[in-house]
């Protein structure tokens, strides 16, 4: 007896419009992708977590990478850019420009980089919800 | 300047990272909470274990 293979459920956008909007909005402003999809609670928790992590990083005198002289700095710069407008505002305000001299400042730098990476994960999650891959 | 202890910094890091992991990696609120707590326990637990390992190596 021939069996039909289990096909994955059809992935259909749940609403019309630009499908990448939650991804881009979520990258620019933490939690905004989920807010656009009316996931208020998830968006608020994500925004609080990412913004607080970024702010704590700056409060610990963490560094915002502006340029990359080697591969590690390039990776850190990419992580920082994941924070979207938080990075732009921080750079515009002249924050995170002092060289890292304390251990706490090094932790702060990692906080800022990881906040950016977590923001990318959150933005991709918003995109998955938008495309119907996740509920 | 905000200057937490090493362990306080670990707790802060674990709280924020676990929150994002829980929300993004699971679908239902109950499973999100459970996975977030699981990640938090792994973060903090691994730090405690590795700290003891480094302490014993350094002796």
Residues of A in contact with B4 (CB under 8 A): 60, 104
Domain ranges of chain B: 6-58
Across the interface, whether the CB atoms of B3 and A104 are under 8 A apart is answered yes
* Position A135 pLDDT exceeds 50: yes
Residue A135 half-sphere exposure toward CB, CA atoms < 13 A: 4
Average pLDDT of the residues in A62-86: 93
Average pLDDT of the residues in A90-116: 92
Of A121, A124, A134, the CB nearest to B27: A134
Question: Could you give the number of structural domains in chain A?
Answer: 1
pLDDT digits 0-9 by tens, B4-52: 999 999 999 999 999 999 999 999 999 999 999 999 999 999 999 999 9
What interface predicted TM-score (ipTM) does this complex get?
0.91
- Residue A31 falls in which region: left (phi positive, over 0), alpha (psi -120 to 50) or beta: left
pLDDT band, very low/low/confident/very high, at A98 (cuts 50, 70, 90): confident
A69 C-beta neighbours (distance < 10 Å), count:
8
Q: Find the residue in A nearest to B12 (Cα).
A: A53
The mean pLDDT of chain A is 89
Is A13 among the domain residues?
no
Across the interface, whether the CB atoms of B13 and A114 are under 8 A apart is answered yes
Do A49 and B19 form a contact (C-beta atoms < 8 A)? yes
CA angle A123, A125, A131 (to 5 degrees): 105
Is A57 among the domain residues?
yes
Average pLDDT of the residues in A44-71: 94
Across the interface, whether the CB atoms of B13 and A45 are under 8 A apart is answered no
Quote the CA–CA distance of A7 and B34 in Å, as a whole number: 30
Quote the CA–CA distance of A28 and A65 in Å, as a whole number: 17
Residues of B in contact with A60 (CB under 8 A): 1-4, 9
Quote the CA–CA distance of A95 and B27 in Å, as a whole number: 37
The pLDDT value recorded for residue A50 is 97
The pLDDT value recorded for residue A13 is 52
Is A88 among the domain residues?
yes
Which residues form the domain of A39? 21-131
Residue B13 at interface with chain A, using a CB cutoff of 8 Å: yes
């Amino acid at each position: 007896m021939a069996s039909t293979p289990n096909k994955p459920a059809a992935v259909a956008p749940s609403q019309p419009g630009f499908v990448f909007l939650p991804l881009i909005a979520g990258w620019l402003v933490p939690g905004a992708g989920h807010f656009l999809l009316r996931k208020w609670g998830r968006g608020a928790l994500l925004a609080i977590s990412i913004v607080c992590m970024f702010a704590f990083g700056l409060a610990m005198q963490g560094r915002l990478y502006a340029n990359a002289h080697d591969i590690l700095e390039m990776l850190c710069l990419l992580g920082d850019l994941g924070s979207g407008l938080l990075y732009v505002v921080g750079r515009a305000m002249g924050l995170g420009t002092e060289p890292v001299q304390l251990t706490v400042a090094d932790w702060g730098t990692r906080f800022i980089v990881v906040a950016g990476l977590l923001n990318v994960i959150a933005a991709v999650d918003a995109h998955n919800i938008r495309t119907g891959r996740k509920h | 300047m905000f200057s937490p202890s090493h362990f306080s910094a670990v707790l802060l890091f674990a709280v924020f990272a676990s929150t994002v992991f829980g929300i993004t990696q699971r679908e239902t609120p109950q499973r999100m909470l459970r996975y977030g707590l699981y990640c938090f326990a792994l973060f903090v637990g691994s730090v405690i274990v590795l700290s003891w390992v480094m302490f014993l190596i350094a002796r």
